[in-house]
Structure 1
Amino acid sequence: MVGADYAWRMQHHDAPRPLVIGHRGAPGYRPEHTRSAYELAFALGADAVEPDIVATRDGVLVLRHENEISGTTDVASRPEFAGRRTTREIDGAPLTGWFTEDFTWAELATLRARERLGAIRQSSASFDDRFPIIRLRELFEIIDVASDEQRRTLRMVAEFKHAAHFDALGLPLDELFQAELDAAGWGRGDERLIMEAFEPTLLDRLGARGIRGKRVFLIEGSGAPWDLVLQQGRSAPTYDSFVTEAGLLRLAGRFDGVSVGKARLVGRAKARRADVAGAPLSGAELVDAAHAADLEIYTWTLRPENAFLTVPFRRGTVRAAFGDWAGEFDQIIAMGVDGVFLDHPDLGVEARRAFAAAI
Structure 2
Amino acid sequence: MVMILTKCLLLVWLSLLTLCSGRTLHSHPGKGAKDAKQPIQTSRPYNIAHRGSNGEIPEETAASYLRAIEEGTDFIETDILSSKDGMLICFHDVILDLTTNIASLKEFADRQRTYVVQGLNTTGFFIFDFTLEELKTLRTKQRFAFRDQQYNGKYPIITFDEFLTIAREAPRVVGIYPEIKNPVLMNQHVKWPGGKRFEDKVVETLKKYGYGGAYMSKKWLNKPLFIQSFAPSSLVYISNLTDSPKVLLIDDVTIPTQDTNQTYAEITSDAYFSYIKQYVVGIGPWKDTIVPVQNNYMQAPTDLVKRAHAHKLQVHPYTYRNENEYLHFNFSQDPYKEYEYWINEIRVDGLFTDFTGSLHNFQEWTSPLPGRSKSPRKLLSQIASLVSPFAKKA
Fold match, TM over 0.5?
yes
Shift of 1:14: 6.3
Matched, 1:257 2:277: no
Matched, 1:156 2:162: no
Contact 2:82/2:190, CA 8 A, preserved across alignment? no
Shift of 1:269: 7.6
Quick one: which amino acid aligns to residue 262 of structure 1?
Answer: K
Quick one: which amino acid aligns to residue 16 of structure 1?
Answer: S
Shift of 1:208: 1.3
- Structure 1 residues 205 and 269: CA distance shift in structure 2, 3 A: farther
TM-score normalized with structure 1 length: 0.82
Q: Distance in 2 between matches of 1:29 and 1:341?
A: 15
Which residue in the other structure is 1:90 paired with? 117
Q: Distance in 1 between matches of 2:126 and 2:141?
A: 16
- Structure 1 residues 187 and 21: CA distance shift in structure 2, 3 A: closer
Which residue in the other structure is 2:231 paired with? 199
Bigger drift between 46-55 and 186-195 goes to 186-195
Matched, 1:208 2:219: no
Which residue in the other structure is 1:330 paired with? 340
Q: Report the secondary structure of 1:106's partner residue.
A: helix
Deviation per CA, 1:7-64: give whole Å up to 9, x if none: xxxxxx9613210000000011110000000011010000001101111111011011
Which residue in the other structure is 1:22 paired with? 49
Residues 61-100 of structure 1 aligned to structure 2 (within 5 Å) = 61-100=88-127
Deviation per CA, 1:240-298: give whole Å up to 9, x if none: 2222333323322231111111102335189xxxxxxxxxxx83632121111011111
- Structure 1 residues 18 and 188: CA distance shift in structure 2, 3 A: closer
Shift of 1:175: 1.4
Matched, 1:184 2:209: yes
Shift of 1:214: 0.9
Bigger drift between 248-257 and 197-206 goes to 248-257
Percent identity between the aligned chains? 29
Contact 2:291/2:302, CA 8 A, preserved across alignment? no
TM-score normalized with structure 2 length: 0.75
- Structure 1 residues 352 and 249: CA distance shift in structure 2, 3 A: farther
Q: Report the secondary structure of 2:186's partner residue.
A: helix
Q: Distance in 1 between matches of 2:236 and 2:294?
A: 29
Deviation per CA, 1:173-212: give whole Å up to 9, x if none: 2111123224434478952110111100111111111x23
Q: Distance in 1 between matches of 2:294 and 2:235?
A: 27
Residues 214-225 of structure 1 aligned to structure 2 (within 5 Å) = 214-221=245-252, 222-225=254-257
Q: Distance in 2 between matches of 1:27 and 1:90?
A: 25
Matched, 1:131 2:155: yes
Quick one: which amino acid aligns to residue 129 of structure 1?
Answer: G
Quick one: which amino acid aligns to residue 243 of structure 2?
Answer: R
Which residue in the other structure is 1:348 paired with? 359
Rg bigger for which structure? 2
Q: Distance in 2 between matches of 1:63 and 1:170?
A: 16
Shift of 1:83: 0.9
Aligned residues: 313
Which residue in the other structure is 2:80 paired with? 53
- Structure 1 residues 57 and 78: CA distance shift in structure 2, 3 A: same
Q: Distance in 2 between matches of 1:135 and 1:30?
A: 17
Matched, 1:169 2:189: yes
Deviation per CA, 1:314-356: give whole Å up to 9, x if none: 5xxxxxxxx2111111101112111100011011112223443
Bigger drift between 41-50 and 164-173 goes to 164-173
Shift of 1:82: 0.7
Q: Report the secondary structure of 2:316's partner residue.
A: strand
Quick one: which amino acid aligns to residue 169 of structure 1?
Answer: H
Matched, 1:143 2:143: no
Contact 1:182/1:188, CA 8 A, preserved across alignment? no
Residues 221-240 of structure 1 aligned to structure 2 (within 5 Å) = 221=252, 222-229=254-261, 237-240=262-265
Which residue in the other structure is 1:276 paired with? none
- Structure 1 residues 288 and 353: CA distance shift in structure 2, 3 A: farther
Q: Report the secondary structure of 1:208's partner residue.
A: coil
- Structure 1 residues 142 and 14: CA distance shift in structure 2, 3 A: closer
Contact 2:285/2:317, CA 8 A, preserved across alignment? yes
Q: Distance in 1 between matches of 2:334 and 2:232?
A: 35
Q: Report the secondary structure of 2:367's partner residue.
A: helix
Q: Report the secondary structure of 2:169's partner residue.
A: helix
Contact 1:260/1:298, CA 8 A, preserved across alignment? yes
